[in-house]
Amino acid sequence: MSRRVGHNAAMRVGLIGTGNMGNRFGSKILRGEHELLVYDLRRESSAALCDAGARWIDGPAAMASEAEVIITSLPSPSAVERVTLGSDGLVNLMPRGAIYVDMSTSTPWLARDIAAAFELRGVDALDAPLSSGGLFIGVGGARAAYDRCLPVLQAAGENVFYVGGPGLGQTAKLVRQYVSFASFVAEAEALVLAAKAGLEPGMMADFLGSTLGTSAHRERVIGSLLKGDFGDPETAASKLDIVSKDLELAVELARRVGSPSNVGLAASDVLQRGQARGWGRINFWSAVQVLEDMAGVQVRRARR
């Protein structure tokens, strides 16, 4: 795990992508006393960061001329590829000696391609996707670049891990997502089984938490599931579309390296069925309804 450094290592940081996650860790970077430059296709999404002290920049080219470090926080691997390797991408804009950091959830193979392309330009590239809303960051790339960028990484996340060379940050994130979301589907299926077999689902959830271990994240997810509280498209922070995409990428990783992914495939199928029902923009635990319908039983209690 990383070591802490002092505030004398403040840097000028550019952030491309100020959606929900970008806003969250961008505000942390500002509190870490770094200078923050921001850009997004929707300028209004950067308003809160600008109010907190960030400076709006009119596009990646202008940002590349000023920032020591440029971070992307984008919704998909295709968006990352376009912003980095496109004809007007960062690979053609950033000066020698700068550092590029992708904090999106993307793919190890794209991260390696980006690192190789940037290396030819004298720019270091790190893949550093965030987990648990920024509580953890696993970083892949050259160790020297990681050490240089550590003050920014530590400002963005609470626990920073160097996990190895290019692409291994994304690999660590996808393995983590595999465990997290396949486990969720297994527990949701278990609660449906409990209800079908005559047990009270809320009691069973407490029993599982007590005997198998619990966490604040699990309590929030299962508690909301039992209430039938799936959020709405405007407020959902853990959208089914995003979770399903992450698990699909993890299964694709397993396929590419020749590792079994039977549990992940089954869990991914449940999530995709939920997307097909139109629940992609609400919280991922809405997918429990797929299992309820299959079993002909409901685990959700009426909301008060």
Q: What is the mean pLDDT of residues 55-61?
A: 96
Q: Which CATH superfamily is domain 7-166 in?
A: NAD(P)-binding Rossmann-like Domain (3.40.50.720)
Measured CA to CA, the distance from residue 168 to residue 175 in angstroms comes to: 10
pLDDT given for residue 271 in this prediction: 98
pLDDT given for residue 296 in this prediction: 97
Q: What is the mean pLDDT of residues 156-183?
A: 96
Measured CA to CA, the distance from residue 292 to residue 10 in angstroms comes to: 51
pLDDT given for residue 17 in this prediction: 97
So where are the chain's domains?
Answer: 7-166, 173-295
Measured CA to CA, the distance from residue 152 to residue 260 in angstroms comes to: 36
Q: What is the mean pLDDT of residues 135-162?
A: 96
What's the mean per-residue pLDDT of the chain? 93
Q: What's the farthest any 2 CA atoms get from each other in the chain?
A: 65
Which residue, 43, 41, 59, is CA-closest to 51? 43
Residue type at 142 in one-letter notation: A
Q: Is pLDDT at 244 greater than 80 in this prediction?
A: yes
Measured CA to CA, the distance from residue 288 to residue 141 in angstroms comes to: 38
Q: Specify whether 28 is catalytic.
A: no
Q: Catalytic pick from 28, 173, 227, 245?
A: 173
Give the H/E segment covering residue 82: helix 77-85
Measured CA to CA, the distance from residue 229 to residue 300 in angstroms comes to: 9
Measured CA to CA, the distance from residue 63 to residue 38 in angstroms comes to: 8
pLDDT confidence tier of residue 213, bands split at 50, 70 and 90 = confident
pLDDT given for residue 3 in this prediction: 36
Domain 173-295 in this protein, CATH class = mainly alpha
Measured CA to CA, the distance from residue 270 to residue 247 in angstroms comes to: 11
Q: What is the mean pLDDT of residues 78-105?
A: 97
Share of the chain above pLDDT 70, in %: 96
Q: Is pLDDT at 7 greater than 50 in this prediction?
A: no
